[in-house]
Structure 1
Amino acid sequence: MNGDVDSVWERITAWLRLHTPVTAATLRPPASADDVRAVQNAVGRPLPDDLLAWWRLMDGVDDDADYRTAFTVPGVYMPLAVARVREEWAGLSAYPDQDCCRPDGHHQRAAGDPVLGFCTALLPVCRAVDGAVLAVDLRPGTHHGRVMDWMAQAGAHRTTWAGISAMLTDTAGRLEQYITAPGTRPQPGQVTIRDDGVLTWE
Structure 2
Amino acid sequence: MQHAVDESWNIIVEWLARHSPPELALIRPPAAEDDIRETERGVGTVLPDDLVAWWRRADGQAGHGSLMPWFYSPHSAREALNKRNVWMTAWNGVMEQAAPERFAAYVAQEDQAPSGTPCKGAWLPSWLPVAGDGGGNDLFVDLRPGPAHGCVREFFRDAGASDAARWDSVAAMLADVAAGLTQEAPVHGHRIWVEDDGRISWDSDASRWSMGGRTPVDVGRLRARYAAFVTEARTGGFGPPPDGSWPAEWVAAHVARNSELLIATTRAVLADDPAGREQRRAAALAAQDWTRLQELMASAELAAAGIRYDNSDAMDPATLDRYATGGLSALASQVEGLGARLCELVGPLNRGRPTAHVHIVDAGTTILDARKGWLGVLNALWTRQLPLRTRQLRALR
Alpha-carbon separation, structure 2, partners of 1:120 and 1:127:
18
- CA deviation map 1:115-160 (0-9, x unaligned): 1121111100000122110000000111111001001322112333
- Structure 2 segments unaligned to the other structure (5+ residues): 96-102, 204-397
Match of 1:75 among 54, 70, 77: 70
Q: Shift of the alpha carbon at 1:188? A: 4.7
Which one has a bigger Cα radius of gyration?
A: 2
- Structure 1 segments unaligned to the other structure (5+ residues): 180-186
Match in the other structure for 1:120: 125
Paired residue total: 188
Q: Shift of the alpha carbon at 1:100? A: 4.6
**Counterpart secondary structure, 1:124:** strand
Q: RMSD of aligned C-alpha atoms?
A: 2.0
Match in the other structure for 1:168: 174
Match in the other structure for 2:24: 24
Alpha-carbon separation, structure 2, partners of 1:7 and 1:155:
33
Residues 134 and 191 (structure 1), Cα distance of their counterparts in 2 relative to 1, 3 Å cut: same
Asked whether the 8 Å contact 2:127–2:143 carries over to 1, the reply is yes
Alpha-carbon separation, structure 1, partners of 2:168 and 2:19:
28
Asked whether the 8 Å contact 1:61–1:71 carries over to 2, the reply is no
Asked whether the 8 Å contact 2:154–2:166 carries over to 1, the reply is no
Please tell me whether residue 193 in structure 1 is matched to residue 194 in structure 2: yes
**Counterpart secondary structure, 1:102:** helix
Residues 50 and 100 (structure 1), Cα distance of their counterparts in 2 relative to 1, 3 Å cut: farther
Within a 5 Å distance, the mapping from 1:23-62 to structure 2 comes to 23-62=23-62
Asked whether the 8 Å contact 1:27–1:71 carries over to 2, the reply is no
Alpha-carbon separation, structure 1, partners of 2:112 and 2:79:
27
**Quick one: percent identity of the two aligned structures?**
35
Match in the other structure for 2:370: none
Normalising by structure 1, we get a TM-score of 0.86
Alpha-carbon separation, structure 2, partners of 1:201 and 1:124:
20
Asked whether the 8 Å contact 2:70–2:190 carries over to 1, the reply is yes
What is the letter of the counterpart of residue 87 of structure 1?
N
**Counterpart secondary structure, 1:56:** helix
Match in the other structure for 1:11: 11
Q: Shift of the alpha carbon at 1:107? A: 2.2
**Counterpart secondary structure, 2:131:** strand
Alpha-carbon separation, structure 2, partners of 1:131 and 1:35:
23
What is the letter of the counterpart of residue 58 of structure 2?
M
Please tell me whether residue 144 in structure 1 is matched to residue 149 in structure 2: yes
Normalising by structure 2, we get a TM-score of 0.45
